[in-house]
Structure 1
Amino acid sequence: KGVDVLQAYATADVGLIAYESPTREGLILDEGVLVEIVRPGTGDPVAPGEVGEVLVTVLQPGYPLIRFATGDLSAFMEGASPCGRTNRRIKGWLGRADQTAKVRGMFVHPPQVATVTSRHPEVARARLVIERTDNADAMTLRCELTNSSVDQQGLAEQISVSIRDVCKLRGEVAFSEQGTLPNDGKVIDDQRPLD
């Protein structure tokens, strides 16, 4: 009784990355680490507040780590902690970034989704949704566009060709309004029920 228990975020390779203060509003980054939040599978920075994979740089003389991918998901928080610490804050551990899925006997990886979307600059954000329909696996790449006035039917056909080329699987394409894809860091969303 009377003992406050606070959270910390650490890995075996890095050691302490961030810690909670008594205000319990996010985790404050340790002074000895440089943290980036990136899109899983690409290493590209995400927008402020968006969920992504935690990369850590630690310049310890005996064991330096440069852009070490933890495999964990988090997001930066705005502003300083109410406790007075001015270091950047993260939301804490929000899940794992490794999202490989097996579809019709083939593995699909986040970097493949990134390759598909990089071929089409009209795509602002994308998420590959995998479902089971009529006892068969179905993939749909849900995309938010940079400009909704593009020829969506033609673009969908081009993206479908890229999916087949990169993933060696057929996939559908669906377009979503900007800002409607979930902000949870997932590139591949496997919605199939566990058997």
Structure 2
Amino acid sequence: MADRFHRIREVYAEACALAPALCRRFAQAGMAAADIVDAAALARLPVLKKEALMAAQQAEPPFAGYLACRPEEIAHIYVSPGPIFEPSLAADETGHGMDYMFRAAGIGPGDLALNSWAYHLVPAGLLFDQGLRHVGAGVIPSGTGNSELQASLLLKLPVTAFLGSTAFFQTLIERLESEGHKLPGAWTLRHAFLGGEFGDWSARRCHLEAAYAIKIWSCYGTADFGLIGYEEAGKDGYSIHPDRFVQICDPESGVPLPQGQAGEIVVTTLSRGWPMIRFGTGDVACATDIAADGGTARISALQGRVGQAVKAREIFIYPSHVEALPRRVAGIARAAVEVRREGHRDAIAAKIALADAASEAAVAPALRQAFASLTRLQLDHIEIVPSDTLPADAPLLRDLRYASP
């Protein structure tokens, strides 16, 4: 493996000349980029939490002083819920490293992928598209929605790979089977790159592979980094992209933990332009293999989330989103949100205590609009509850999908 610390010193020395917020992080730790000679030195820098980056961008828009390139080098600016602004450089042709995932799966020239991830604002659709094109595959940029059309494309075109959420993939399967199509004989599909999930993901994956004669793949990535980890045939967990230096850390202290102990995934990118160093993703896993330079070479499957954010339909909901609802919607006294499991999809329910004289009919449309504006997710249920069931100390956000009965 090349000397990654030499790369880190180069990338962050250049970045400090352009990104004042990064300079402040180093200064507050009593460090300079030149001091990062090994994993222990890197760990001296405190972890930057995603919530802190979000708050910093709100205080100093758009990039909070972290941009480390010239504006003309930016090809895209993604807007993830929060909102968080994430620049993407024109020089990147791999979809932030997504090509590694496709090469490991054997995808290349001759493959045709149906990409049902969103192509607007959030990065998933375009990053997967770039990664596929970089390995020589063709892409149908279908984006989200329109399940009837997308199901038909799986039959009318020689699609060999599908990309999307597990729930949407199952929706397409159910539509085709309800129309009398015999799967897998009716399609040419061989691979499905699906959004992994907590809970029963492994069992559902095995069922889909056996029932439909396909190979299912998942990856670990974020909007901030693109690909962090990817699957390799015959190996458990995720191999770490060589341009991501990963440490598994205590969520409170930020201290790296021993191999096999679960903690927060903390990532440092070796790519220039958007210098995320010691960035806490909020996801929990354990290291299953350590590289010679002290970085994590492989992580387990994800085991959950640090803190209070809840991931639903591949997008994070934060307590601050729920807290904002009464401020945005007249007639709401208090609000709470629950994420539940209904069949094979995530269901989002808002529990609302109405203010005096307010009516559900008046509040509901504005609530749906406000929630979608804050999170880009649609509410499935609105439940009006007595105000005493939502006391001031009640949790704003709860994940009930995998709670024990």
TM-score by length of 1: 0.46
TM-score by length of 2: 0.23
Higher strand share: 1
Q: Which has the higher contact order (CA 8 A, sep 6+)?
A: 1
Higher helix share: 2
Structure number, greater radius of gyration: 2
